[in-house]
Amino acid sequence: MPMNPARGRLMNQYAAYALGAVKAERELRYSDAAVLWFKAMHAPCCSKNSDWAEKRNEFCAAAVKRTQGRKNARQRV
């Protein structure tokens, strides 16, 4: 497993939100991930990171809509 480059020192706000969003996505908690990507998008960072956070936010919001009403969101379509 790769080392977390922020381990052992304070992370910036963008990194903290982005890491939380990635973890939420891996756990298929797209609603939580969308909120965290939105916060990352508005945290102080470079435009490249902000653009990436915006795209991930849109993806997660779409995933929430796709999985609404399904008993088991882990089911494959």
3-class secondary structure for 22-73?
Answer: HHHHHCCCHHHHHHHHHHHHHCCCCHHHHHHHHHHHHHHHHHHHHHCCCCCC
Query: Per-residue pLDDT tens for 36-57?
Result: 999 999 999 899 999 999 999 9
Residue 8 is predicted with a pLDDT of 47
pLDDT of residue 18: 97
Segments in the chain below pLDDT 50 = 1, 8, 77
DSSP state of 9: S
Q: What's the pLDDT score for residue 55?
A: 98
The structure tokens listed for 33 are 């991930």
Q: What predicted TM-score, i.e. pTM, was given to this entire model?
A: 0.76
Q: Is the Cβ–Cβ distance between 36 and 53 less than 8 Å?
A: no
Q: Closest Cα partner for 53 from 7, 20, 10?
A: 20
Q: Are 56 and 37 in contact (CB under 8 A)?
A: yes
Looking at residue 1, its pLDDT comes to 46
Query: What integer pLDDT is reported at residue 77 of this predicted model?
Result: 43
